[in-house]
Amino acid sequence: MSIASQVELTLVGDTDHKQNILDGLQELGAVHLVQLREAPLASGPDAADDLREAIHYLSSTPIKRRPQRPADERPLDEVVREILDNKYQREDVIDRIEMNRRRRQVLAPWGDFEFPQLEEIDHRRFWFYRVPLGKRALLETVDLPWQIVHSDQRFYYLVVLAQEQPTEEDIPLRRSRTGALSLSRLTAVHEEALVRLEDLDAERESLTRWLLPCSEALDQSLDQRELLLANEQVLDAKQIFALQGWIPEAALPALSNWVGTVPAAYRLREPTVDDNPPTLLLNRDLTGGGQEAVSFFQLPGYRSWDPSRVIFFSFSLFFAMILADAGYAVLLGALLLANWKKMSTPGSLAIRLRNMAAAMLGSAVVYGVLVGSYFGVTPPAGSVLATLNVLDLNNFPAMMKLSLGVGVVHLLMAHTMVLWVNRRSRLALASLGWIIGLSGAFLLWLDYMATEQFELTHSPFFWCLPVWLVLVLTCSSDRPVRSAKDVLLQLVDGVGGVLGLTKAFGDVLSYMRLFALGLAGASLAATFNELAVTARDSVSVGGFLLFALIIIFGHGLNLVLAIMSGVIHGLRLNLMEFYNWGIQGEGYPFKAFAKRGGSKWNH
């Protein structure tokens, strides 16, 4: 759990060997390049677009061939065109099948018929109309030959014989268009299209053997593009060129070994106060799920701290408190175990999400046992599970204390880390003030709840509040104090810090949702159980079926709502309340100049 220490790299090399040096630097894969000049590449279509489209198309094929490098020596460009031709033809056939289906649906009420030759019917044509059942009387005014060929719950299906299309005066209805093909002919065309679709699907499946070469070609294309972009970012001066970037301290031995093999020299410099290095979070896969949440929302600044592990464990706890049912947690855990192997690729996003899900569900099982809820059922008195039921969701005062206590501890952790980051600054004393103030106020509230004859000034925790006021008022800014004006500005900053009390109060109360949502889910589960039992006992025939339907759909709905609440509100408490107090400044991600899949510094 850390932010990687960065060192500024300045590298100077021989222009004649520029491409080889840049290619070697890309192979090293450890430097975040800094743009030294504005020279963007010419705009235009990306050459890799066709490869991306072809790979995406083949990857979504239901049945794929095994990964291989085909012996066929055709140019890859030709293969890509064949893949895309298959894609476009398949899309066209699917569109034709859908249009045919709609046409047959429209034509079905009129029946299966073929149009006769015009000469056979005195050059008259058939005109088709749908007549609402309530407007049957309109047909009495029609002078042209007509016939109702079908009717349903809504319409009469009318055929009129006329040389020209009847006007609105002739027939005050909107004409229906049936097309020139008969129903049987449309069915035959539909069958032909299905056969063509099967042929294209078989060809698509055969083309999936090119997935590996296409993926490798895409990686090479993107690597080459980044190499060209890097070439445009360096400075050229006659026989030498220069580039700058940031490199993790852990990668310096590899850099030293590589530079010894090329005609180049480099200089390293520690970042100064005015520098803004990129943020590189270093976390193991075990707790890396927290890093994914942090990276998705907002990266901390380089000089801040990495909250990934704190968010990993606190998010797991919040999810458990909101789910509040061991039965639901075990059910979700079984689904996770069924997909465990698929999510076990080392270094991938899947394994990090898998480990986070395991921590969330493990915490949920433990918390569910503590509150004694198993699909909304409480274990019977005297059982082993009943002895483990030490928390009562219906004990509102106790659950309020627990929820608010979790919130206070969570915010205290944020202030503690800010204190450590600012340990060489006066700002650390303001964080210390908040730690004393929050903990003191919470303990003072607990004292008030436990004491019948409570007197504010007699509580030892009351004196935490003046200490908080003094520290926050005088230390909320690190501006130098050299004059009366500086003192006044310092106090203005302090007043702004003190006014944060209302925000702190609101943030602590936000943690009440942990108790409220957990109680709501448990109540819904118990309600569905009662409804199911009532339905079973009150219906003599089919009672068990009603019982099963209510249990399945009721608990399914409750489980979905609990998962959504746990994820949304768990993230909110971490990334809103906690983040606002614990993270100062926003960083930007470290992006190593590296070949695809060849750098451990890119996540």
Under the banding of pLDDT at 50, 70 and 90, the label for residue 597 is low
User: Is 575 part of a structural domain of the chain?
Assistant: yes
Of 281, 299, 324, the last residue of a domain is 281
pLDDT of amino acid 54: 92
Of 32-46, 61-75, 148-162, 367-381, give the lowest mean pLDDT range. Answer: 32-46
- Percentage of residues in the chain with pLDDT exceeding 70? 97
Does 481 share its domain with 528?
A: yes
Judge if 271 and 307 occupy the same domain.
Answer: no
Average pLDDT over residues 185-214: 92
Per-residue confidence (pLDDT) for residue 584, from 0 to 100: 81
Specify if 545 maps to a domain.
Answer: yes
pLDDT attached to residue 372: 92
302 or 541: which leads in pLDDT: 302
Task: Tell me the mean pLDDT in the region 549-557.
Answer: 93
Burial class (CB in 10 A: 0-12, 13-18, 19+), 488: exposed
> Does 47 reside within a domain?
yes
Q: Say whether both 309 and 346 belong to one domain.
A: yes
Q: Please list, in sequence order, all residues whose beta carbon lies within 8 angstroms of the beta carbon of residue 404, skipping any fewer than 6 positions away.
A: 442, 445, 508, 509, 511, 512
Same domain, 352 and 463: yes
Assess contact for 521 and 561: CB atoms under 8 A: yes
For the chain, give the mean pLDDT. 88
Q: What mean pLDDT do residues 520-527 have? A: 92
241 shares a domain with 145: no
Q: What is the CATH number of the domain that holds 252?
A: 3.30.70.120
Instruction: List 156's β-bridge partners, or say none.
Output: 131, 151
Q: Where are the alpha helices (DSSP H) in 422-481?
A: 427-450, 464-475
Domain for residue 596, yes or no? no
Domain range for 561 is 289-582
In a domain, 262, yes or no: yes
- Asked whether residue 45 carries a pLDDT value surpassing 60, the answer given is no
Q: Any residues with CB less than 8 A from the CB of 293 and at least 6 apart, and which?
A: 308, 311, 315, 571, 574, 575
Q: Domain end: 179, 205, 233, which one?
A: 179
Domain count, the chain: 3
302 & 272 share domain: no
Instruction: Dump pLDDT digits (tens) for 106-126.
Output: 888 888 888 888 888 888 888
**What share of the chain in percent tops pLDDT 90?**
45
Per DSSP bridges, beta strands 6-14 and 264-269 are antiparallel
Tell me the mean pLDDT in the region 486-506: 87
Domain limit, last residue, from 251, 281, 311:
281
Asked, for residue 561, whether it belongs to a domain, the answer is: yes
Question: 167 and 268 share a domain?
Answer: no
Same domain, 312 and 259: no
Contact assessment for residue 473 and residue 495, using Cβ atoms and an 8 Å cutoff: yes
Whether residues 42 and 121 share a domain: the answer is no
Do residues 400 and 456 both lie within one domain?
yes
The answer to whether 574 and 318 are in contact (CB under 8 A) is yes
In a domain, 437, yes or no: yes
The verdict on 122 and 260 lying in the same domain is no
| pLDDT value, residue 600 | 66
Whether residue 269 sits in one domain with residue 132 = no
Q: Is 540 exposed, middle or buried (0-12, 13-18, 19+ CB in 10 A)?
A: exposed
Whether 400 maps to a domain, the answer reads yes
Residue 39 pLDDT exceeds 70 = no
Residues 401-414 pLDDT 10s: 999 999 999 999 99
- Mean pLDDT of the 124-142 span: 86
pLDDT of residue 46: 63
Distance CA 579, CA 19 (A): 44
